[in-house]
Amino acid sequence: RKADIECALVVLGAGPGGYTAAFRAADLGMDVVLVERYEALGGVCLNVGCIPSKALLHAAAVIDEAAHAADFGVTFGKPEIDLAALRGHKERVVGQFNKGLTGMAKQRKVRVVQGTGSFASAHELEITGADGQVQLLRFGQCIIAAGSQPLELPGFPWDDPRVMDSTGALELADVPRRLLVVGGGIIGLEMATVYRALGSEITVVELADQLMPGADRDLVKPLADRLKKQGVAIHLKTKVVEARAQKNGIACGFEGESIPDGKLFDRVLVAVGRVPNGRRIGAEKAGVAVDGRGFIAVDAQMRTNVRHIFAIGDIVGQPMLAHKASHEGKLAAEVAAGEKREWIARVIPSVAYTDPEIAWVGVTEAEAKASGIQAGVAKFPWAASARAVGIGRGEGFTKLLFDEGSNRIIGGAIVGPHAGDLISEVALAIEMGAEAADIGHTIHPHPTLSESVAMAAEAYEGTITDLY
Ligand code: FAD
C-alpha cells in the first residue's frame, strides 16, 4: 500500500517528551512528523497536569497567605471565589503555551498530524483522524512518546461525574463540600491543597503508612502537620474498598487501620497512580517489546529492542515527570540524528508543589540506609533561618547526604516554601561532584532560604558559624 505521509522521523505523542524530541530533531536538520491525537499540543503536562495544577495552586497559596497574614497583624476578609474566573485564568495559561508550541512546530517545519497512531509494521503507523479517516505513514525512525493515563480503580462508578481522576479534578466544576481524595501521593495532595483552600472539607485515604510514599518520612512530617492543622483528615494504612453512587453523594466503604468517620462524599478524586500507554499503540506489530504493565524498556540511548524505534517519557518508566521526559526526548532526537550520545541520569529531582513544598533529588536517606550506602547526613532546620521565621515558615528544613568516603554530595531534600526552586542547586552540586566544602564555601546571599543549602553543608563539615 502506498503511504499517505513519508518522513525520516515520526514522533508519536506531543507531550513534553514528544515535542522536545520533535523540535530537537528538526533543529538538527531532520524531516519530522509529530503525531498527536488531540488538537492541542503539550500532552498531559501542559493540558491536564503540571501547568493547570500549578496555576490553581497559586490561587490556593494566595488564599492561604492572606489567611496567615493575620499572624502578623494584617487581616483580610473571607475570600470571594469566582470559579469561572479561576478556570479562565488556568485555561488562558494553558492556551498561551498551546499556541506557543503550535508556533514553534511551524517555525521548525515539523509537520503535525492529528490522529491516533498505531503501528502497522516496524516502519509504518496507521493514523486514525477524528473523522475516522485512516492515513498510512511510513517512517525511517520513530520515537514513541505516548505517555500515560490515570489508573482507574475497578468497581468505582466511573460514569458518575462525581467520581474524578486528576483530569476531572482540574476541571474545577464546583467546590464540593466533602471531597474524598483516594491516594496521598503528589497528585492527590496537590489537588487536596487546591480544593481545601477553596473551601472543601478534605479526607485523604492512603494505603501506605505515610503520605507521599517515596519521600523521606521526616520531610513529610511538616506537610502532614500543616494539613492536619488546616483540618484535612488523613487516614493512613487504609483503602477504599467500595464506592457507590447515591442520590445524595458517593457512599464509600473502607478497610484498614484508620477508618474515616463519614462514608458519604460529594466528590471522590482517585489519584492512585498512572498507567503507561504502551499497550495501546499496536507495539507488537512493530516488534517493540512491552512489559506486563505497559512500559517499554530502553537502553541508555533510549532505543527499544527495535533499533530504529526509540521510546521516552512516562511510557519508559518511573519517575513519571515532565523534566525526565523532555531530557530523554532531546537525547533520543540527537541519537536519531546520528549523534553519538548516551545519558544515564544521575539525578532527577522530584517536587510536590504542596504547602509546604517537598523536593528531593539523588539518594534519599531511606534509600541510603536500605542499600547500605555509608552516607553522612546533615540537616539545617529553618527555625534557625531568620528569613524563614520572618515569613512564618520555621517548620522547613534542608537535608543533605554526603558520601562518607569522598565527602561528595549524593542526595538532598528540602521541605518548606519554594523547596522546588531550591532543590536545583543540590541537583547541580551532585551532577558536578561537589564536596561539602564546595557548597558550604560558596557565598549565598543573606538572608535567603537558599542559604539553608550552604548551612547544611557547613553543618556536615563542622564549620557552621552563623545561625540566624
Ligand atoms: P504525555 O504528557 O502523557 O504525552 C503523551 C501524548 O501522547 C499525549 O498528548 C497523548 O494524547 C498522546 N498520545 C498517546 N497515545 C497516542 C496515540 N496512540 N496516538 C497519538 N497520540 C497519542 N510532572 C512534573 O514534572 N511536574 C509536575 O508538576 C507535574 N504535575 C502533574 C500533575 C498532574 C495532575 C498530572 C496528571 C501529572 C503531572 N506531572 C508532573 C507528570 C507529567 O505530566 C508527565 O510526566 C509528563 O506529561 C509525561 O510526558 P510524556 O511526553 O511522556 O507524555
> What is the per-residue pLDDT across 347-396, written as a single tens digit (0 to 9) for each?
999 999 999 999 999 999 999 999 999 999 999 999 999 999 999 999 99
89 as an active site residue: the answer is no
Please determine, for residue 337, whether its predicted confidence score (pLDDT) is greater than 80: yes
Quickly state the pLDDT bin for 346 (edges 50, 70, 90). confident
- The predicted complex's ipTM stands at 0.99
DSSP state of 452: H
**How far apart are alpha carbons 156 and 212 in whole angstroms?**
23
Please determine, for residue 463, whether its predicted confidence score (pLDDT) is greater than 90: no
Ligand 1 atom closest to the Cα of residue 50 is 30
Q: Among 5, 11, 35, 50, which is best to mutate for testing ligand 1, by the most ligand atoms less than 8 A from CB? A: 50
71-120: per-residue pLDDT in tens?
999 999 999 999 999 999 999 999 999 999 999 999 999 999 999 999 99
What is the separation, in whole angstroms, between the first and last Cα of the chain? 74
Please determine, for residue 133, whether its predicted confidence score (pLDDT) is greater than 90: yes
Residue 50 CA to ligand 1 center (angstroms) comes to 9
**What residue owns the CA closest to ligand 1's atom 35?**
49
Does ligand 1 come within 6 angstroms of the Cβ of 168?
no
214-273: per-residue pLDDT in tens?
899 999 999 999 999 999 999 999 999 999 999 999 999 999 999 999 999 999 999 999
Q: What is the pLDDT of residue 392?
A: 94
Cis peptide before 445 (omega within 30 of 0): no
Q: Residue 243 corresponds to which cell in the numbers above?
A: 464506592
- β-partners of residue 253 are 242
**How far apart are alpha carbons 376 and 8 in whole angstroms?**
50
Percentage of the chain exceeding pLDDT 90: 97
Characterize the bridge pairing of strands 267-270 and 238-246.
unpaired
Q: Which residue type does 11 have?
A: V
Average pLDDT over residues 389-415: 96
Percentage of the chain exceeding pLDDT 70: 99
Q: Which residue type does 294 have?
A: G
Does ligand 1 come within 6 angstroms of the Cβ of 50?
yes
Does ligand 1 come within 6 angstroms of the Cβ of 13?
yes
* 451: nearest Cα among 393, 382, 395: 382
Q: Among 33, 35, 45, which is best to mutate for testing ligand 1, by the most ligand atoms less than 8 A from CB? A: 45
Q: What is the pLDDT of residue 344?
A: 79
Mean confidence (pLDDT) of the chain? 96
Does ligand 1 come within 6 angstroms of the Cβ of 311?
no
Q: Residue 12 corresponds to which cell in the numbers above?
A: 508519536
Quickly state the pLDDT bin for 466 (edges 50, 70, 90). low
**What residue owns the CA closest to ligand 1's atom 29?**
50
Please determine, for residue 67, whether its predicted confidence score (pLDDT) is greater than 90: yes
* 456: nearest Cα among 419, 401, 418, 394: 401
Locate all alpha helices (DSSP H) within 211-319, ordered by sequence: 217-229, 283-286
**How far apart are alpha carbons 415 and 388 in whole angstroms?**
12
**What residue owns the CA closest to ligand 1's atom 46?**
322
296-313: per-residue pLDDT in tens?
999 999 999 999 999 999
**What residue owns the CA closest to ligand 1's atom 6?**
13
Distances (CA, A) of 274 to 142, 277, 281, 293: 24, 9, 17, 11
Does ligand 1 come within 6 angstroms of the Cβ of 365?
no
